[in-house]
Amino acid sequence: MDEGTGDGGGFEVTLDHLRKTVDPLIASLQVADQIWKDDGQMAAGIERCESEKITNCVRRFLHDWGHAMGVVVKQGTFVASALQQVIANYELAERNAEAGFRPVSPPGPIERVSQQAGLPRAANPLAPNPPAAK
C-alpha cells in the first residue's frame, strides 16, 4: 500500500502489487516449510563426525533453525492469508462499486418522486439527460 499523494489523504492500493507480493511469499513459505519438516534429515550424516562437541553443536543449530523456519512458516502463512483477504475484499468492493454505478432501467426512487411531483425530468440531477428535441 502506498500512502496517498495528499489529494484525498487516504491510501492507494494497487492490487497487482499485492498479488506480486503474495505469490513469491507463498513460494518462499513452501521452501521454508520443507526445511522445517526436513531438519532431521539434514542432521542425518552428522553421526559420522568424530567430535561429540561438533555433533551436538550441529544438531542444536539445525534444531533451532528448524524451529525458526516453523515460526517463519506460521507467521508468513498468516501474512499471506491476510494479503489474500485484502485482495479479495478490494476486488469485492470494486465489483460492488461498479454494480452500484450502472444505470438501472426502471426509474429509481428519486425519479419516481420527481415524476409524481410533476417536475420535469431535467430537474432530477441523478437522471440521465433527456434526448435532444428534433
CB distance 119 to 57 below 8 Å:
no
Q: What percent of the chain has pLDDT over 90?
A: 5
Residue ranges per domain, the chain?
A: 2-122
Distances (CA, A) of 51 to 31, 42, 58: 31, 17, 11
- In tens, the pLDDT along 91-108 reads 888 888 877 765 555 555
- In tens, the pLDDT along 17-52 reads 888 988 899 999 998 888 777 766 777 777 777 788
